[in-house]
Amino acid sequence: MKIQFCGAARTVTGSSHLIILNDGYKILLDCGLFQGQDAYNDENNLKFLFQPEEINCLVLSHAHIDHAGRIPKLVKEGFRGKIICTSATKDLSEIMLADSAHIQEKDTQYENKKRKKRGLGLVNPLYTVNDAQHALKQFFSIKYEEWYPIREGVEVLFRDNGHILGSGSVTLKIKEDERIIRVGFTGDIGRPNRPILKDPKQMGDVDVLLCESTYGGRLHEAFPDDLNHFYDVIKSTCIDRKGKIIIPAFSIGRTQEIVYMLDKLHHEKNLDRIPVYVDSPLSTNATAIYKNHPECFDEEISEHLKSDPNPFGFNNLQYITEVEESKQLNFQEGPAIIISASGMAEAGRIVHHISNNIENEKNTILMVGYCAKGTLGARIREGEKEIKLFGEVKQVKAHIELMDSFSAHGDQKEMLDFLDNLNRNDLKKIYLVHGDYEDGQLPFKKCLEEKLFQQVLIPEKGQTETI
Ligand SMILES: [Zn+2]
């Protein structure tokens, strides 16, 4: 058997790895979008390293776009096999892929307007909303912890890795030439002790492992008391100063964690007079999907559900999908909490909310996650005093607060803990994927070698290895 690394090789996006059995049967692990530049313009996204019609089956670790975002293109170009994933991944993929297609249609329309004026050739979106809907028909969900036979001699198992709703590590048991080879793929490794989701569950023994390495070179800061920190920000902003808190948050995962914390605070403290808005159609839809998948919940929220059947809703919380209602928030007086996407504040409704509120010293912009260099979120985090928004220079007078404990990715130590049970004699090779080469993969390789793992390799994109 061979493995070809087709994406997320020495980088963090575009997750895609191809397993080619000796008889030619092809299993693709993930089919993610390369992010960071316009999708329609990125050679990495435009060309697959294989013929889509030759792929027999796709196994999907979770619904994040850097893992699932090229599925509609794969189907459009001839892939006819099953897309195997968990039930929650299937539901989340439906809204994520539709959203991704919508963004691509809008981006290319805008680009083509400019191109027409300049007499240049037009570009096509990577795929359309229609293509995304079409691809959904091939999704096929299986349960966690149950071996599913893909074909004779090949079985697959998902195990909850606590990263996002429905995410799982993947283990393949492949019988070939009278030997059984166990291939593991960690997917994205989550974190223990986070609200809502179960802690990551360690994998069983494997012979070869494809392992993520996003935070292979860093440790997350520990925040022992999120809830109190959050309450302090609410008290000083909304109660003492009568101001607004603006929170840029990713639609899936982060938004639900924040809403759940607010739900708990709402029950514990009297926050009745502070209206809360989740202003994002994708977040609204994702929250509905969270509610439908209690099988992914940890004990703490399951217990909470007994006294509060809706942990993502309370009296003064309103989900907003319509643009007009979103605009109305600009005119609202008094304290409020507005949670909106995107998480790095580089696009979406959040940019308008920041623009409308950043010059008022009563308000707080609460940053709850990593922001890539150059994004508006990163500039706010770095404490810039002047920011240009919609062509206008704005003075940053609002308070800036950081809460960094919301990462969905395990850090170096958490990933090492996740892998620590694996039998070093059985596991011949670890291939590091999904990480920055210098900052994530090289330091993580060193740690794994210190932990006595046999061979740790960092493949390049397109590289093929014989197992
Ligand atoms: Zn992910």
pLDDT exceeds cutoff 80 at 373: no
Residue 188 CA, ligand 1 centroid: distance in Å: 5
137: confidence class by pLDDT, cuts 50, 70, 90: very high
Chain-wide mean pLDDT for the chain?
A: 94
Give the tens place of pLDDT for each residue, 221-254: 766 578 889 999 999 999 999 999 999 998 999 9
What is the pLDDT, as a whole number, of residue 224? 59
**What pLDDT is attached to residue 134?**
97
Spacing, Cα 169 to ligand 1 middle (Å): 11
The pair phi, psi for residue 111, each rounded to 5°, is -65, -40
Distance CA 175, CA 155 (A): 9
Asked if the peptide bond before residue 342 counts as cis, ω within 30 degrees of 0, the response is yes
Domain boundaries, the chain: 2-218+408-466, 226-402
CA of 456 to the centre of ligand 1 (A): 22
Instruction: Tell me the two tokens of residue 368.
Output: 């709850």
Closest residue by Cα to residue 355 from 332, 389, 398? 389
**Alpha carbon distances (Å) from 150 to 32, 67, 171, 312, 413:** 21, 20, 12, 37, 34
| Per-residue model confidence as pLDDT tens digits over 101-134 | 998 999 899 999 999 999 999 999 999 999 999 9
Ligand 1 mean position to 160 CA, how many Å? 13
pLDDT at residue 119 in the model: 94
Ligand 1 centroid – CA 128 distance (Å): 23
Q: How far is the CA of 191 from the centre of ligand 1 (A)?
A: 12
DSSP string covering 357-421, please? Answer: HTT-TT-EEEE-S---TTSHHHHHHTT-SEEEETTEEEE--SEEEE--TT-SS--HHHHHHHHTT
Q: What is the pLDDT of residue 36?
A: 75
CA 67 to ligand 1 centroid distance, Å: 7
| Residue 136 confidence (pLDDT) above 90 | yes
What pLDDT does 223 receive?
A: 62
Determine the Cα–Cα distance for residues 77 and 71; give it in Å rounded to an integer.
Answer: 10
**Strands 364-367, 244-248: pairing kind:** parallel
Output the pLDDT for position 40: 84
Distance 70 CA to ligand 1 centre (A): 14
CA 253-461-446 angle, 5° bins: 75
Query: What end-to-end distance do the CA atoms of the chain give, in Å?
Result: 6
What pLDDT does 98 receive?
A: 96
3-state secondary structure at position 140 = strand
Measure 119 CA to ligand 1 centroid, in angstroms: 40
Q: Which residues of 59-95 are buried (b: 16+ CB within 10 A; e: fewer)?
A: bbbbbbbbbbbbbbbbbbeebebbbbbbbbbbbbbbb
64 Cα: distance to centroid of ligand 1 (angstroms): 5
Distance from Cα 212 to the centre of ligand 1, integer Å: 10
Q: Can you give the three-state secondary structure of 225-254, one letter per residue?
A: CHHHHHHHHHHHHHHHCCCEEEEECCCCCH
32 CA → ligand 1 middle, Å: 10
Q: Provide the CATH topology of domain 2-218+408-466.
A: Metallo-beta-lactamase; Chain A (3.60.15)
Quick one: CATH architecture of 226-402? Answer: 3-Layer(aba) Sandwich (3.40)
pTM above 0.85, yes or no: yes
Place of tokens 């997917």: 187
Position 367 confidence tier, pLDDT thresholds 50, 70, 90: very high
